[in-house]
A and B are shown apart, each in its own frame.
Chain A
Amino acid sequence: MINIYEVNETNAMIDKENLDVRTITMGISLLDCADENLEKVKENIYNKITTKAKDLVSTGKAIEKEFGIPIVNKRISITPIALVGQAACHTPDDYVEIAKVLDKAAHEVGVNFIGGYSAIVSKGMTPSDELLIRSIPKALASTELICSSVNVGSTKTGINMDAVRLIGDIIKETAMLTKDNDSLGCAKFVALCNAPDDNPFMAGAFHGVSEADTIINVGVSGPGVVKYALSNLHNANFEELCETIKKTAFKITRVGQLVAQEASKRLGVPFGIIDLSLAPTPAVGDSVAEILEEIGLERAGAPGTTAALALLNDQVKKGGVMASSYVGGLSGAFIPVSEDQGMIDAVKEGSLTIEKLEAMTCVCSVGLDMIAIPGDTSAETIAGIIADEAAIGMVNQKTTAVRVIPAYGKKAGDVVEFGGLLGYAPVMPVNTFDCSTFVNRGGRIPAPIHSFKN
């Protein structure tokens, strides 16, 4: 039988160390909503989302109350809209119409975000994909709860450089259209390489075509719990350090597994995956950077950071895998700058640069995340940054992503405020040497040799 010490340990994790379930995300296929008539598509989408997800938020809240574990977000991921709207949409504005319906449906069911205003163009773009991508700035500027993503490359296909170049412009335009809110629109868009079909985390969540009609995916969190567990281990060797992270990750993930199974049972929707992630929030003590400090670095970004992060990421997976029956999504430690107080401090003090963050993305999930860059950064430079990240993902057979915010009118050293879970960020300087000849070549970068496994 459970004893008082175990109960106290669990409750201390929740009350003092910020243990929570970051998100219950319901994946909903919208493939059956397609039609040639735009009005019909809009109606189908609205009806399907508001029917399938009508009990999602209330169920999440009931689980939260009964088990005493906070569930921070209830979200929806949907089939990439470029697939759903292709017969009906003939202009970018047609897609914006769909975006508005998605936003309305998300408000109706009370979720925090809806992800999947997306296109998968890792090898090539259909006319529909291109229309959707061109509609992204206006869609993000005229809605509140929509998250958008584009998969620009994969290990199997190489990198679609036409899409990468286009997205450079799209990010700039999004920053401009949402300039009154510190270019907030860019915080809701991510360019991915090797995007998973079952990711519950925003902004990159979408419901891939390999998925069932509806599914429940759960993202766990808990950097604070790992940090606390390591706080008494300053003199321990790597063996003891790694064992402790593994055991802690197991405990955190078991909570996610329980919540996922319970949500699946109550909603009558199959359980998909647990995303084993350490997802920080701007709250003090809920930071991945602070774990790196506990491991022995003065600040994130110091020499040793990449090795410490690699170790952390690997142990989280090793502990988490046994705790869950199905693991998927992004699964790893996240390093978003604006959402992590320790990262913000490291940037402010000059310890952490974009180049070091890029190196860190080689060994963890997901990529250059929530990084504010100067508003005058060119579209070509942004495309170059995306190409670099995509190359890391492509060659290392992992998911990588870029979510940068070229904050309109801001320069390096200024601060942008997004509020809530998105936090705030110091604007980081970017290498200003030109890469336009490279990114303007057109076409695609071929798949790497090690992708040919047959």
Chain B
Amino acid sequence: MNKVIITVVGKDTVGIIAKVCTYLAESHINILDISQTIVQEYFNMMMIVDANKADKDISQIITDLDKIGEDIGVVIKCQREEIFDKMHRI
């Protein structure tokens, strides 16, 4: 499994999840988990996805999501899961 963490932070607006999910579906990326909170009026979402069957390499996915974030005015980060796993699990 090639797990990737996607985080979206920004001002809440209509269709953020829809836009991200559409891109993921088109790229054959499977969503494993979604959680969401509002921190200080900011929309804050995290997705754990499996990019194993993705039709693009991770570098391309990062660039594309960054662009989608720019278009809707939020910050979308896409990072391989290991950085979080290493830091928070022994």
Contact = CB atoms under 8 A, between A and B. Distances in A.
Contacts of B88: 2, 6, 9-10, 251
A68 interface: yes
B17 to A, nearest CB: 14
B37 interface: yes
A255 B86 CA distance: 7
Nearest to A254: B86
A255 to B, nearest CB: 6
Nearest to B6: A7
A7 B59 contact: no
A67 B79 contact: yes
A337 B41 CA distance: 40
A2 B59 contact: no
B48 A2 contact: yes
Contacts of B48: 1-2
A13 B39 CA distance: 17
A7 B33 contact: no
Question: Which one of A9, A11, A262 has the highest number of Cβ atoms from chain B below 10 Å of its Cβ?
Answer: A11
A449 interface: no
Contact of A1 (B7, B33, B59): B33
Given A7-B5, A62-B59, A66-B62, A2 B77 contact: no
A258 B81 CA distance: 11
Interface residues of B, number: 25
- Chain A interface residue number, banded: 20 to 34
Contacts of B59: 62, 65-66
A258 B84 CA distance: 10
Contact of A255 (B36, B46, B80, B83): B83
B58 interface: yes
Question: Which one of B37, B77, B79 has the highest number of Cβ atoms from chain A below 10 Å of its Cβ?
Answer: B79
Majority DSSP secondary structure for residues of A touching B: helix
A300 to B, nearest CB: 29
Question: Which one of A2, A67, A251, A258 has the highest number of Cβ atoms from chain B below 10 Å of its Cβ?
Answer: A2
A4 B79 contact: no
Contacts of B70: none
B87 interface: yes
B31 to A, nearest CB: 13
A254 B83 CA distance: 8
A233 to B, nearest CB: 20
A67 B46 contact: no
Contact of A6 (B44, B58, B82, B84): B84
Contact of B44 (A8, A69, A257): A8
A255 B79 CA distance: 13
Interface in A217-231: none
B84 A2 contact: yes
A7 to B, nearest CB: 5
Contacts of A1: 33, 48
B7 A7 contact: yes
Contact of B77 (A68, A254, A262): A68
A437 interface: no
Contacts of B78: 68
Interface string A51-74: 000000000001001111100000
Interface in A224-255: 251, 254-255
CB-based closest 7 A-B pairs: A68-B79, A4-B46, A254-B86, A67-B83, A6-B88, A258-B86, A2-B84
12 contacts: A1-B48, A2-B5, A2-B48, A2-B88, A4-B36, A7-B7, A10-B87, A11-B77, A67-B80, A255-B83, A258-B83, A258-B86
